[in-house]
């Protein structure tokens, strides 16, 4: 048994964006002999998801953690990736990607950021300089979002829980969320300022890196309003590396149990079908369920 990790992020034509992701992945500390491959959904030729799968299997990996470096489980990209590995769809939509070829490695589908407490600490550190009197200020968390009904609900759930974690860390009076898709930012900001006139609003963008959305779209959507904003994204920041490390650590700890459970299920299926049935050689798929989190300080 040899474990390996396939980190998947979106990809960009901007080499600095790619470098930020690669630096965060390279900084991940794992046990010796566990390869970690940084791959991309699109654009970065030679580093696409299938390239990563092939590289890990060529390195002898038999147990693969697919770690989606995305903000939300409601992302259509996360759903597409899961479907292409053979996992059920998250909503009433078929993915638009071809299936990946996995020859022998069992695949565990990891989790995107959602409401992870480590990322809540990261967001709070990003906006801490903006918060003068948090107990009299509102936190507004802004992210991409989705128009698809089921995926929109998943986005809202994760964002709301993450915003509440940040609110508690910073001691804000309240927290609210707004998605850019659908276009909610201006409406939410207007409602906040009507309901709490004179109360400052600190806006926190939930994006992997600085770019078009943080520097252009959010300011345009909030034009005409008074608010505190610095456009700080999740990268570069060691907290994001720690988020990856924790998920990998927990997966490695659970892996013997996952393998044992899978072998037991296969044995039971063969017994029911008869002794003449050979063990299915197809890839085993698993969903990863994280346990209680540990603070970054540990």
Exposed/middle/buried for residue 162 (C-beta within 10 Å: 0-12, 13-18, 19+)? buried
pLDDT in tens, 49-108: 999 999 999 999 999 999 999 999 999 899 999 999 988 887 778 878 889 999 989 999
Q: Is the bond preceding residue 181 a cis peptide, omega within 30 degrees?
A: no
Write the DSSP assignment of 97-133 as a string of letters: SPPP--SS-EEEE----TT-HHHHHHHHHHHGGG-SS
Instruction: Report the b/e string of 104-118 with b at 16+ CB within 10 A.
Output: ebbbbbbbbbbbbbb
**Alpha carbons 270 and 292: distance in angstroms, whole number:** 35
CB atoms closer than 10 angstroms to residue 175:
22
Task: Choose the most confident range, by mean pLDDT, from 37-41, 42-46, 260-264.
Answer: 37-41
pLDDT in tens, 196-207: 998 999 999 999
**Alpha carbons 121 and 142: distance in angstroms, whole number:** 16
Q: How would you classify residue 6: left for phi > 0, otherwise alpha for psi between -120 and 50, otherwise beta?
A: beta
For residue 48, give the DSSP letter: B
Closest residue by Cα to residue 145 from 131, 133, 132, 159? 159
43 is written with which tokens?
């654009």
What is the SS3 assignment for 202? strand
Q: At what angle do helices 238-273 and 117-127 cross, to 10 degrees?
A: 160
**Alpha carbons 18 and 113: distance in angstroms, whole number:** 19
Torsion angle defined by CA atoms of residues 16, 58, 100 and 64, in that order, rounded to the nearest 10 degrees? -80
pLDDT of residue 293: 35
pLDDT in tens, 200-254: 999 999 999 988 899 999 999 999 999 999 999 999 999 999 999 999 999 999 8
pTM of the model: 0.85
Please, what is the average pLDDT of the chain?
Answer: 87
Q: What domains lie within the chain, and their CATH numbers?
A: 3-112+237-287 (3.40.50.1400), 117-221 (3.40.50.1400)
Q: How would you classify residue 189: left for phi > 0, otherwise alpha for psi between -120 and 50, otherwise beta?
A: alpha
Cβ(115)–Cβ(177) under 8 Å?
Answer: no
**Alpha carbons 164 and 239: distance in angstroms, whole number:** 18
């Amino acid at each position: 048994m040899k474990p390996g990790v396939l980190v998947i992020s979106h990809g960009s034509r901007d080499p600095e964006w790619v470098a930020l992701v690669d630096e965060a992945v390279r900084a991940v500390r794992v046990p010796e002999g566990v390869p970690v491959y940084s791959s991309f959904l699109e654009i970065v030729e030679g580093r696409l998801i299938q390239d990563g799968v092939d590289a890990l299997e060529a390195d002898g990996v038999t147990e693969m953690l697919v770690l989606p470096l995305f903000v939300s489980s409601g992302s259509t990209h996360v759903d597409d990736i899961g479907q292409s590995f053979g996992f059920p769809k998250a909503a009433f939509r078929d993915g638009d990607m071809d299936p990946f070829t996995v020859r022998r490695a069992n695949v565990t589908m990891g989790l995107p950021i959602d409401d992870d407490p480590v990322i809540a600490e990261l967001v709070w550190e990003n906006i801490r300089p903006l918060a003068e009197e948090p107990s009299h200020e509102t936190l507004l968390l802004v992210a991409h979002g989705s128009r698809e009904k089921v995926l929109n609900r998943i986005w809202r759930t994760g964002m709301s829980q993450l915003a509440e974690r940040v609110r508690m860390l910073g001691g804000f009076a309240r927290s609210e969320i707004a998605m850019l898709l659908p276009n909610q930012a201006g409406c939410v900001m207007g409602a906040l300022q009507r309901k709490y006139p004179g109360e400052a609003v600190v806006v926190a963008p939930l994006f992997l890196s600085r770019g078009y959305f943080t520097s252009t779209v959010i300011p345009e959507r909030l034009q005409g309003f008074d608010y505190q904003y610095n456009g700080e994204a999740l990268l570069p920041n060691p907290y994001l590396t720690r988020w990856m490390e924790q998920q990998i650590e927990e997966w490695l700890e659970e892996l013997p149990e996952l393998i044992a459970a899978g072998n037991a299920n296969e044995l039971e299926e063969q017994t029911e079908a008869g002794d003449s049935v050979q063990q299915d050689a197809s890839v085993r798929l698993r969903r990863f369920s994280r346990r209680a989190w540990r603070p970054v300080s540990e």
